[in-house]
Amino acid sequence: MVLEREATISTGDSKIAVIIPTLNEEKGIAVVIDKIHEALKNYSYDIVVSDGRSTDKTVENALKHNAKVIYQRKKGYGDALIAGYMYAIEELGSDILVNLDADGTYEPNDIPKLIEKIIGNEADYVVGKRTVSAESMKRSHIVGNKAISFLIRRLLKVNVTDTQSGLFAFRSYLIRNIESWSTSGWALNTELLTKAAENEMIIQEVNVAYYPRIGKAHNTTLGGAIANLTVIIRMLRDTEPLRMLGIVSSIIFAVGLGIGGMVVYDFVQTGVVKHTSSAILSALLLIVGVQIFSLGLVADMIKRRQLRRIRPANSYYLER
């Protein structure tokens, strides 16, 4: 079901929430929060730090610098974001959600560029396209991000250049209309983008700065790649089951036809079926191909008729 776009909002009546997921980010959190206060001084906003039970002074520093702090119930970057989103919607009544990391890699002064696109009704979802350098990002990360973004554009039909950016903003009604989540990990932004595209939200990109992080990194290139590939497969399964299973069935069916073709060719040439095992394998592959395609048809029908199951908002977070 395509989401209905909500009424036009202006700078004066829009409520913005900046969600910052944290886990032991005491070195950067205070600086980031102060810059957000300065960048959004002309807006109605809240800063929500969604913490994963930090053991350093992250929470203490966030509170000292006038941010609201909640604790996520589970673990993971994505789960922290979900907790922050739900708190902002249910407790603060926010209609624009902004995602920002606590490590100083993004420039808070770029936030207005994103939210003005939404306030001006030019877009529903705005991604910060990072300007990276050898100093701000490892070459392996650059290559990995480009590869994942390419796969997401091609397979999930999300027309975004930098799908892995940690700075993005969107209308909060997207969260209220998501029935369930495929991931609570690092690749949540991939799922959000896919959901936005699936529901025909207007998605745009704006150029933003990107700096070396403050403190120790919590993720690796390989870990991020695996997480994103997992989400891509899950999203294909959930949003395009017929397409996904159709591709698999086509490959299996084609292999079965190829093997069967060789058996038939030998039979035409010699009048004898020399490779009985190949003939049996060909038949099995053709049958499996048809069955997988039939499964895709059934899955597609179920997807279109499934009932909505919405999880209560307060089951995502704990107020401090």
What's the pLDDT tens digit per position in 142-184? 777 788 788 778 777 788 999 889 999 999 999 988 877 776 6
**Strand, helix or coil at 283?**
helix
Kindly report, residue by residue over 67-121, the tens digit of the pLDDT. 999 999 988 888 999 999 999 999 999 999 999 999 999 999 999 999 999 999 9
**Helix or strand holding residue 262 (H, E):** helix 241-270
pTM of the model: 0.72
pLDDT at 115: 97
Integer-rounded Cα Rg, in Å, for the chain is 24
pLDDT at 310: 38
Percent of the chain predicted with pLDDT > 70: 78
Neighbours of 67 (CB within 10 A): 22
15-239: CATH homologous superfamily? Spore Coat Polysaccharide Biosynthesis Protein SpsA; Chain A (3.90.550.10)
Given a cut of 70, whether residue 65 has pLDDT beyond it is yes
How sure is the predictor about 9, in pLDDT bands with cuts at 50, 70 and 90? very low
For residue 3, what is the DSSP state? P
For residue 312, what is the DSSP state? P
**Helix or strand holding residue 21 (H, E):** strand 15-22
Given a cut of 50, whether residue 25 has pLDDT beyond it is yes
Kindly report, residue by residue over 214-262, the tens digit of the pLDDT. 866 655 555 656 655 665 666 666 666 767 777 888 888 899 889 888 8
How many angstroms separate the CA atoms of 264 and 37, rounded? Answer: 74
Given a cut of 60, whether residue 312 has pLDDT beyond it is no
Strand 15-22 relative to strand 44-51: parallel, antiparallel, unpaired?
A: parallel
Query: Largest Cα–Cα distance in the chain?
Result: 87
φ/ψ (deg, to 5) at 138: -65, 150
Place of tokens 């950067």: 28
Neighbours of 86 (CB within 10 A): 22
How many angstroms separate the CA atoms of 227 and 221, rounded? Answer: 10
Q: For residues 87 and 52, is the Cβ–Cβ distance under 8 A?
A: no
